[in-house]
Each structure stands twice: as structure tokens, then as C-alpha cells.
Structure 1
Amino acid sequence: MSTTTHPGDTLSRREKIIYVFILGTLTALGPFTIDLYLPAFPALQSDFGVPEAAVQLTLTGTILGFAGGQLLVGPLSDKIGRRLPLILATALHVGASIGAASSEDITMLMLFRVLQGVGAAGGGVVAMAMVRDLFGGYTLVRMLSYMALVNGMAPIFAPVIGSQLLLLFPWPGIFWFLAAYGVLVIVAVSLFIIETLPKESRRRSGLTVVERYRVVLRDRIFIGILLVGGMNFSGLFSYLSASPFLFQGPYGLNEQQYGLLFAINSLGIVAGVQISSRMLRRVGPQWVIAGATVVQLSMGLLMIAFDQLGLGFWGTALPLWFYIMATGFIFPCVQVLALINNGAQAGTAASLLGAVTFGLAGIVSPLVGLLGEGIESATPMALVMASCIATAMVFLWSVVRPRTVPALH
């Protein structure tokens, strides 16, 4: 029996951790771009004199830009290499961050938030493709979980940093901070990240962008995982878009308290990612997803029931934490099932995964605000979250079909 070797197998454990930590830091640009300004939602609403839904649409625009950017950057990285697209995309992010900081109305802010999303796409999709270039099998699972851990720390610190920045500066200071972060990403890539896709590998494929997409989209399991991952993200981003208004409005938290709550919830994601990665040595990723979606649906329904019973803050916060932890269980499973059979088109597969998951999330999450005039209770948020997971369960069992997924090697 032959054993498949991968370029990253020659790295020491210390070298692997350092390399994936750097890549994880690059992918964190996306979560920072999305989450850092969440505590500023009420301030943006007040300064621009617009309704809550208009401010939420700036988050939707960022997510859609992030999705579209990945569709461009991923195939480009398969064709010309990983480093250059990453640097160019991040440079766009820096310029858009400066534009967002200088915005004088909500329309201008929306435009630059979309461009920020496009620019932030480079870090996420290229870093994931680089990990797939270097590793395979259970090592890939382990490396993706390490990167997800680093990436998972970004949502923990982003709202906390954002809330503290608001103590020192008005909301534009958040976007100046993002511009500086982007500059640091460019410096790190230029100095420390090597090219993981050699020229001979790019020539060997000989496929056009359309042909790369066609190869990936012939994989039934991949398509099912795209849809499951998209609905999982949609549930999470429904929480992201609604929670600043819910917890700082009806529940009475200030910006700093909301940042702390968001950090505690994000610890659930980190816990879920790490427990899930260890389970994958004994349990197939499709079965981890199956169990996690049951927990998510149960917690979503509990939030609705507790809200209708008038249990207030704790009736929402406790089941929400377990919902978010179950979301963390799903993240590495989705990445592994999407990339394990698409090594030759890793950039294209990663771009489709990111584009569909963030694209669906950008479309679905505004429904929370549209279900009522303002966000006065947890029910609209929980209803959208539970509906997303119910839909994910349908895709899992009808398209992915867990019993047909081959074992990892």
C-alpha cells in the first residue's frame, strides 16, 4: 500500500504551527473587516440619520463583496500563483478602508464597505488554498483546525477592540485601524510567505477558469457542502447583523458590554472548532455536521420559546452560546469535505466555498430586520437562524447524503 506524500510533510511541527499561524492571521482580515465595526451600529444610525435596516445593509454589502471577491481571487491564484493576488486584493482593502473612514453618508459607506469585502477576500481564499497545497488527509484536517483557531480568535477580539476604539475615537477610527491592519498583512506576505503553487503545477493543469469551475461543480458532495456551509453561515450572520441592536437596545447593554458578550460567544466557536477537529480522527465530518445541526435547530427553537415566555436576556444568551458553539463544530468539517478531493483546483474550490457561504449569508441575514419594524425581541433573529439550519439539514441529507461520503485518507 502506497502512502501519498505532500510538500508540507517535510515541515517540523513547530514550522507547521508558525506557518499556519501566519496564514490564520491573514484570514483574520475578513472577520476583522466584518466584526470590528459592529459595536458602532447605533452610532452610525445616529450620525447618518438612517433606520437600523440601512446600517445592516452595510454589513450585507461587505459580505456580498467578500463573496464576489473570492470568485475572482480563487481562480486567479490557481493560474498565476498565490502571493500576487493576495497582495493586490489586500491593497484594495487598504484603499477602501480609507474611503470608508472618510464617508459622509450611508451610500458612500456602503460602496466602500463592498470594496472592503472584495479586498478582504484575498486573505481567506488564498490562505486556505495554500494549506491545501501543502497538506492532505488527516494532516490537512489538523492544519485547517489550527488555522480556524487563529481565525476564530478574530471574532473574539474584533468587537472588543472596536468597542474600545469607540472610547478613544468616533466610528471612522475603526476603519483607520482596518487600513493599518491591511498594510501589516501586505508586509507579512511580502516578507514571510513563500509561493506554494510552483509554475510547473500551474502549467500542468492547462485549464481555463470556466473549466476549473466545471471540474469542481461536478462533485455532488462539494455542491451539497456549499449549500450546507452557506446556510450555516447565514444563521451565524443573522446573529451578527441583529445582535448589536438586540443587545444594545431591548437588553440595555452598552458598547463595551456588547463587545464582551460577543467575545464570550465567539469562544464557543473556538471550542467547537477544536473539539470537532479531534472528533474527525474517529468520526466522519459528515456525521459531525449531522449532530451539530440538530443542536443548532434545537437551540434556535429554544430561543424562540424562551423569548415568547418573556425570559429576557438569559433566555436568549444561553441557548445562543450553544448554537454558536455548534456552528464551530461545522466549520472545519465543511472545509475538509470541500477541499479534500479538489487539490488540483484548491483556489477555485476555496473561492466557491467562500463565495456561496458568504453570498447566501449576505442575502439571508437582512431578513431579520425585515421581519418587523426594528428589532424589539429575539424572535425574528432566532426564527431566521432556526430556518437556516432546517434548510441546511435538508441539503445535508438530500444532496450530500452522509452514508455515501468516503472515509478520509
Structure 2
Amino acid sequence: MYLPAFPAIARSLDTGISEVQLSLTSYLIGIAIGQLFYGPLLDRFGRKKPLYAGLILYIIASVGCGLVTSVESLIWMRFLQAIGGCAGMVAAQALVRDLFPVNKIAQAFALLTLVIAVSPMIAPTIGGYLATKMDWHYLFWVLALLTALILVFSLIYLPDGASPDRQISLRPTQVVQKYLFVLKNKQFLTFILVGGIAGAAPFAYIGGSSDVFINLYGLSETQYGWVFALLATAMIGSTQLNHLLLRHFRNEQIVATALSYQLVLGAIIFVGTYLNWFSVEVFIFFLFIFLTGHGLSIPNAAALSLSPFSQNAGSASAMMGFMRMAMGGVVTGLVSFFHNGTAIPMVFMMFICIFFGLVVMVIYYADSIGKRIRRQLA
């Protein structure tokens, strides 16, 4: 929601856009780290208590963001905000594994993606309007209010999910062993890497888009918000298309196809941007087509990651979320680090994320095919 206000925040705090972008990086890092703690807590205490604690922390940190007077304070408050907010992400993913049969997980994740991935892409539309009507500090008060409403509805309507398991130890050595256990599952490891690396591409877009559209293409905060909303429909439509595709294709086939065409489009966007081929309309068009792949690949990669686990779903969900947000944090940090007043850092990181995500998947299936051939020859 605060993305359209990046230029205003930079002016208000007497700093640069790249420093304000670090507040997004710190948020993603906080989400990544926090999820590793919430995973065992959700398995030990059930889904609800850790969720409620996280939402309360998010509300407090949001109020803190609304009171900051320096970019350093904003960066730290965004980190604390993320530590609270990530509870909702881990709990939601674990509840999908609790409440749905294995053959319905991908469809449920497709709907969940509308919230986890698409809401942050719709929020700038609202933020664009609010940024023109009020001081940017009040955007965080709005977030605190929205989260308070989420807390109330969670208290009233949220299903329980898995029961608390008091036998689960919260000792650091036991927690680490549990994470190592889920990481030893080759299918899980492969698809959290695929989902984490390829799934970081939209974070490059999110981290760099306000500077690109507002400062380079000259859009207003409101226009930028509408562009963000338009591009969000790419993911909304493709997640719904995923329901139809799953009737005829396997999860693996959808992920591989989506990443392949994103790789081609990513190369076109990078070359076109480098050679200054694109008007703002053409640039938006190619970004729209590119982002449709995210709505297809991520839900299916998530389903493939979690399907081996009927137990330890909380820890598996946390590790999956950690990988996705850690990569997102790294990528937004790199976009900020290489900021040069052009769109090149943003579009290059989008391309390179898809490239390495596809490489991981190719290695996994090449190894599986090789093992099958060796068994047949033996």
C-alpha cells in the first residue's frame, strides 16, 4: 500500500529512493526469518494462538511505522511488522494442508495465492489514492486498522486446523532437526527452490516499479496504482485458469510450461528495455503477460512441496515461506543496490530469477530420469 508513496517518503525523510526501497527489503527478510519461528509454534500450540500473537505484533509495528521520523526507524519498524505479519502466511498455508485432501491442495493454493500474492499487488491502487489525500504516515494507520479487522474475523470464523501437539519440542536443536528432516525430502527441496527462486521475480517488479513508473515514465501516484491493479489481474486470471488446467495436466507440467514462457518473455523485456524499445503501454503489456506465469507456477510448486507431508505441515510451510520471502528480500535488495535510474536492474532480476528456477527443475527431472535409466540397465 505504501509503494506509491516511495518518492514522498524519500522527500519527507530527506533520503533517496534506494534507501526507502530497503524498508521493503527489511520487510521481506523479516517475513522470511519469522516464518522459521512460527512453523514449530504452529505445530506445538495449534494454528490459532501463534496467529493471534503475530497479528497483534503487526498492529503495534504498523502504528510504529506511522510515527517514524527517519528512514532507519522505518526500516526497523517494517522488519518488526513483518515478524508479526508472517504468522498469517504460515498459518494459512498450514491450514490448507490440514483442511484439504492431497488432490485438492493445488486448487486451494491457487485461491490462497489470490490473497498472499495478489493482495500486495492490488494494495498500491488504494495506496495511490490515499497518498494523494493524506500524509504517507497515515497509510500505516490504515494497515493497523485493517489488521485489527482481520484479527476479529479470525477470532470468530477461522477453523481450528490441526490440534496442538505438546510432544513437539521448541528446543533449538530439535527445531533445526525438524527443518533438516523436511529438507531431506528431495521433492520438497526441489520445489521450494523452484518456487522461491522463480517466485522472487515479481518481488523485483514490486521493489522497482514505483521508481520506474513514477520517476522514469512520469505517472502520478494514482496512475501507478491503477497500473499495479491492472497487472494484478494477470495473476488473478491465471490462478483461476489453473483450476481448469489441473483437470488435464499434472502440477509438474504446468510449472515447467509457465517457467518456459516466462523465460522467453523475460528475455524480450530485458532486451527491449536495454535498447529502449518500449513505450509505457508496451512495457505494461509485456509485464502483464510475464506475470500470468506467476499465478500458474507458484500454486503448483507449493502443492508439490507440501504434498509429501501429512505431519510437520507447519514446519514445511514455514520453510517454504522462508525460501520464497528470503529470495524476495535478496532480489529487492539487489534491485536497490544496483539502482541506476533506469529499469534495467528490475527487469534483469526478473529474467534471472526465472532462468535459475527453471534450471533447478531441469536438474531435478534430469537426475530422476538418469536414476530410472540406471535401474533399468541394472
- Tell me whether the two structures share a fold, i.e. TM-score over 0.5: yes
Q: Provide the rounded CA distance (Å) in 2 between the counterparts of 1:309 and 1:161.
A: 30
Amino acid at match of 2:145: A
Match of 2:161 in 1: 196
Q: Provide the rounded CA distance (Å) in 2 between the counterparts of 1:209 and 1:332.
A: 26
Show the 5 A alignment for 1:65-214.
Answer: 65-199=30-164, 202=165, 208-214=174-180
Amino acid at match of 1:222: F
The structural deviation recorded for 1:140 is 2.0
- 1:234-281 Cα offsets, whole Å, 9 max, x none, are 211110011000000111100000000000001001112111232123
Give yes or no for contact 1:306–1:315 (8 Å, CA) kept in 2.
no
Match of 1:217 in 2: 183
Q: Provide the rounded CA distance (Å) in 2 between the counterparts of 1:263 and 1:155.
A: 10
SS of alignment partner, residue 341 of structure 1: coil
Amino acid at match of 1:38: L
TM-score, structure 1 as length reference: 0.85
> Does 252-261 or 182-191 show the bigger shift?
182-191
Match of 1:346 in 2: 313
Q: 2:201 aligns with which of 231, 235, 254?
A: 235
Query: Cα gap change, 1:317/1:74 in structure 2, threshold over 3 Å: closer, same or farther?
Result: same
Match of 2:297 in 1: 330
Match of 1:226 in 2: 192
Give yes or no for contact 1:268–1:321 (8 Å, CA) kept in 2.
yes
The structural deviation recorded for 1:203 is 5.1
Q: Provide the rounded CA distance (Å) in 1 between the counterparts of 2:118 and 2:322.
A: 22
Give yes or no for contact 1:97–1:175 (8 Å, CA) kept in 2.
yes
Give yes or no for contact 1:396–1:402 (8 Å, CA) kept in 2.
no
The structural deviation recorded for 1:285 is 1.2
Give yes or no for contact 2:125–2:222 (8 Å, CA) kept in 1.
yes
| Unaligned 5+ runs, structure 2 | 370-378
Match of 1:269 in 2: 235
Query: Cα gap change, 1:203/1:368 in structure 2, threshold over 3 Å: closer, same or farther?
Result: closer
Q: Provide the rounded CA distance (Å) in 2 between the counterparts of 1:151 and 1:231.
A: 17
The structural deviation recorded for 1:368 is 2.3
The structural deviation recorded for 1:204 is 7.1
- 1:56-114 Cα offsets, whole Å, 9 max, x none, are 11000000001111111111101111000000011110010010000010000001000
The structural deviation recorded for 1:336 is 0.3
Q: Provide the rounded CA distance (Å) in 1 between the counterparts of 2:8 and 2:367.
A: 46
Show the 5 A alignment for 1:251-290.
Answer: 251-290=217-256
Show the 5 A alignment for 1:314-393.
Answer: 314-373=281-340, 375-376=341-342, 378-393=343-358
Q: Provide the rounded CA distance (Å) in 2 between the counterparts of 1:309 and 1:187.
A: 49
The structural deviation recorded for 1:144 is 2.1
Question: RMSD over aligned Cα, in angstroms?
Answer: 1.9
Amino acid at match of 2:196: G
Give yes or no for contact 1:277–1:332 (8 Å, CA) kept in 2.
no
Q: Provide the rounded CA distance (Å) in 1 between the counterparts of 2:30 and 2:244.
A: 33
Kindly indicate whether residue 265 of structure 2 is the aligned counterpart of residue 299 of structure 1: yes
Give yes or no for contact 1:136–1:340 (8 Å, CA) kept in 2.
no
Match of 1:49 in 2: 14
The structural deviation recorded for 1:146 is 2.4
Identity of aligned residues (%): 30
Give yes or no for contact 2:128–2:221 (8 Å, CA) kept in 1.
yes
Q: Provide the rounded CA distance (Å) in 1 between the counterparts of 2:307 and 2:175.
A: 20
User: What is the number of equivalent residue pairs in this alignment?
Assistant: 365
The structural deviation recorded for 1:209 is 2.3
The structural deviation recorded for 1:382 is 1.2
Give yes or no for contact 1:149–1:274 (8 Å, CA) kept in 2.
no
Amino acid at match of 2:142: F
The structural deviation recorded for 1:311 is 2.5
The structural deviation recorded for 1:400 is 5.7
Kindly indicate whether residue 364 of structure 2 is the aligned counterpart of residue 399 of structure 1: yes
Give yes or no for contact 1:53–1:366 (8 Å, CA) kept in 2.
no
Match of 1:310 in 2: 277
Q: Provide the rounded CA distance (Å) in 1 between the counterparts of 2:110 and 2:336.
A: 33
SS of alignment partner, residue 249 of structure 1: helix
